[in-house]
Structure 1
Amino acid sequence: MIENTGNPAVGVGIVGLSARSGWAPHAHLPALTRLTGYALRALAASTPESARAAGEKYGIDRAHASAAELAADPAVDLVVVSVRVPRHREVILAALAAGKHVLSEWPLGNGVVEAEELAAAAARAGVRTFTGLQARSAPAVRHLRDLVADGYVGEVLSTSLVASGRRWGPTFEPGGAYLLDKDNGGTMLTIPFGHTVDALALVLGEFTEVSATTAIRRPVVREEGSGRAVPMTAPDQVAVSGRLASGAVASVHFRGGLSRGTDFHWEINGTDGDLVVTGDHGHLQQARLTVRGARGTDADLAELPVPERYFDVPELDDLRAEPAYNVGIQYARIEHDLREGTAAVPDFAHAARRQRLLDAVERAAATGTRVTL
């Protein structure tokens, strides 16, 4: 636990903060620089030269040549892992060996075996760990969770969700080819599906069994601008059906690319009412969401605006329309967890459990059988 003595700020070191582009400067940096409980003290990038360039750009003096060097820095309390999935293991193990708290972006590991290894290593290290499943921090998702818990729909009978995985369509952004290779661990199944199904579980409970169909419908896709052809080995169609712990039936279908019809549509049907969530794309952790509902004698759905109490970190108000907002909410909860010993943000054990669900989906699709969790 970090106590409010001396310098109260949580010292952060980011592995993967680049001067050029990436998720860290796009989301982590805007969030951290607005939250007074944090001090961004160090960074490490892919090379010492990249680290120096990033340090100069962002005004960070402690630009380290490696993740291990950053983890050993006494000014760093929390190591943030913002690198591609194949590098998560080495960076996380270095941070754990240094006895530092760790926030890793999702997915935790490159496959379930690696995730379980990292969760076990974290338990042995005795430090606090956090996983970047920030969709559950979104105000609309928390609002939806409370509507269901308060009985808005009565007993949940079923839920159905259809969404678009925009980065797995006919074209990909320059630098995004690694997402197309299933061996890299950053696929449509692990990233947007994983974030979304975690939010679904927060709202409705965990899956107890799954059946699945996956397919690669676009085996070759092209880079935007250059037109370069690249093979896609990660499924661009993921259809999962199953049962939740409550007995409710669930159906989730992710489709690569964007749709002219529906890019995100989530229905929750119950004995007394219905809830519908729509969004501008299927990456729920980043999407702009609208919640509508009807119950009792209501004939039509009506918008259920997210109450202001869910926007509970005023320092982030200017980011409400940005992908960094949910990341910032998560950081605010991490700080509270570190100060007060609470457990609001998912840890590595939770991440390993979520990756076991994804592994069950893959096994169900490969064997054509129902897999029990």
Structure 2
Amino acid sequence: MTPPPPPRIGIVGASRGHGWGYRAHLPAIAALADAGLPAPVVTAVSTTRPESAREAAADTGATGHTSAEELAADPAVEVVVITVKVPAHDQLVRTALAAGKHVLCEWPLALDAREAAELEALTRPDRRGFVGLQGRHDPVIVSARRLLASGELGEIQTVLARSSRGSGLAALDQPRRYTLDRASGAGNREVHTGHFADLVDQVVGGITPVGGAAVVHRPRVAVEGIGPVAASAPDTLAGTFRTPTGLGAIVTFDGDPDPRSTLTVHTDGGVLELTTPGVDEPGGAGQPQFSRWSGRLIRRGRPAQPLAAADPLAGLAVPTEARHVAAQYLALTADLTDGGSRVATFADAVRLHGLIESLAPGA
């Protein structure tokens, strides 16, 4: 049987340098193709400047566009991938869906749950909406979710979740200055906490926020070439939640000299400990959605043992921060072939936006 042709994608935001499309999406797709694994084909790229569009086209062999509207209208594009700043997501998603294209939009999908729900309402079976919550494709996260869902460890009693970033210690590079503005929708509360909360939610089988708060601990942050600038986006969040059978707490914050993430789940039958490496250790990338997780299982009355996890991308030559993006593209290719839901959808994003807003209301 002849395999279906690979999805044809167009990437919005493929400029060289700091762009997430260039740093993670393009290397991820190239690594899959080099390994002979199912991967999409980049048929179009867009940036806002003619020069950068020509560079992106030269790098990928794809058609270069200077507007997302042109890219969405390109008949060679089946899936529009949006990798630009959050405030632009709403209009870009609407444009792509109106053109009849599937959409893969980086997280956060929108500025808030209301805007996300409006976008989700525009999707259809022939123009699906996917969201870049790539951390849920980590092999250890997948293994932990399956283990707890199986009931082998009994019911969950407590969950302790902690995740930190190093942002705020050294001067921030100028392209990321916008994340200090609360209105950007790209601060610790939305990006860092959103990705981490999604992993916690995935592993324990769903969380329901009880309450919490978010604050600005560092009201001024140094920016390269500028100096201290005002920060209105919260950099510290703490919240509590319920699981189907227990209780949990989550803390996220910036300004940690040793950024890493830990997730500890206490059950009737033992303890499951999940951790990420430090940023300078192999597999560490400073944020939970990029880093490679490891797990340890302590069953009642037995010695601790590593959590077994099968890695479908074992041996893949790809930068650490792009690895889970590669796994996401592998899953997306399968979803577009068989109609599955391996990749997070717009409906998942609506729920996650709501979780964050409930954990830190009014922040």
Percent of aligned pairs with the same residue? 33
Shift of 1:106: 0.3
The secondary structure found in structure 2 opposite 1:176 is helix
1:206 aligns with 2:209: no
Q: Distance in 2 between matches of 1:134 and 1:361?
A: 22
Who is 1:104 aligned against? 105
Give RMSD over aligned pairs: 2.1
Please report the TM-score for the alignment, with normalisation by the length of structure 2.
0.90
Shift in alpha-carbon separation, 1:313–1:219, aligned structure 2, 3 A: same
* CA contact 2:241–2:248 (8 Å) conserved in 1: yes
Q: Distance in 2 between matches of 1:121 and 1:168?
A: 38
Shift of 1:107: 0.6
Which residue identity does 1:357 align to in structure 2? Answer: L
Deviations 1:40-72 (A, max 9, x none): 11000122332122222x143410121010011
Who is 1:287 aligned against? 291
* CA contact 2:200–2:263 (8 Å) conserved in 1: no
Who is 1:38 aligned against? 40
Who is 1:115 aligned against? 116
* CA contact 1:128–1:338 (8 Å) conserved in 2: no
Who is 2:248 aligned against? 250
Q: Distance in 1 between matches of 2:295 and 2:273?
A: 6
Which residue identity does 2:296 align to in structure 1? Answer: R
Shift of 1:126: 4.3
Shift in alpha-carbon separation, 1:334–1:294, aligned structure 2, 3 A: same
Aligned with 1:267 (options 264, 278, 298): 264
Which residue identity does 1:82 align to in structure 2? Answer: T
Q: Distance in 1 between matches of 2:287 and 2:62?
A: 34
1:22 aligns with 2:19: yes
Who is 2:128 aligned against? 128
* CA contact 1:136–1:202 (8 Å) conserved in 2: yes
Deviations 1:123-151 (A, max 9, x none): 4x841221001111011111111222234
Which residue identity does 2:339 align to in structure 1? Answer: G
Q: Distance in 2 between matches of 1:207 and 1:38?
A: 33
Who is 2:306 aligned against? 303
* CA contact 2:260–2:287 (8 Å) conserved in 1: no
Who is 1:371 aligned against? none
Who is 1:370 aligned against? none
Which residue identity does 2:331 align to in structure 1? Answer: R
What pairs with 1:55-70 in structure 2 (closer than 5 Å)? 55-56=57-58, 58-70=59-71
The secondary structure found in structure 1 opposite 2:145 is helix
Which residue identity does 1:293 align to in structure 2? Answer: L
Q: Distance in 2 between matches of 1:172 and 1:155?
A: 43
Shift in alpha-carbon separation, 1:79–1:16, aligned structure 2, 3 A: same
Aligned with 2:334 (options 336, 355, 366): 336
The secondary structure found in structure 2 opposite 1:345 is coil
Shift in alpha-carbon separation, 1:270–1:360, aligned structure 2, 3 A: same
Which residue identity does 2:273 align to in structure 1? Answer: V
Deviations 1:187-224 (A, max 9, x none): 11111111111111111122223210211111001024
Shift of 1:152: 4.7
Shift in alpha-carbon separation, 1:72–1:291, aligned structure 2, 3 A: same
Q: Distance in 2 between matches of 1:161 and 1:303?
A: 19
Who is 2:82 aligned against? 81
Shift of 1:303: 2.9
* CA contact 1:277–1:289 (8 Å) conserved in 2: yes
* Number of aligned positions between the proteins: 350
* CA contact 1:313–1:332 (8 Å) conserved in 2: no
Shift of 1:161: 1.1
* CA contact 1:152–1:295 (8 Å) conserved in 2: no
Who is 1:369 aligned against? none
Deviations 1:73-104 (A, max 9, x none): 01111110010101111111111011001100
Shift in alpha-carbon separation, 1:168–1:206, aligned structure 2, 3 A: farther
Aligned with 1:278 (options 275, 279, 283): 275
* CA contact 2:90–2:110 (8 Å) conserved in 1: yes
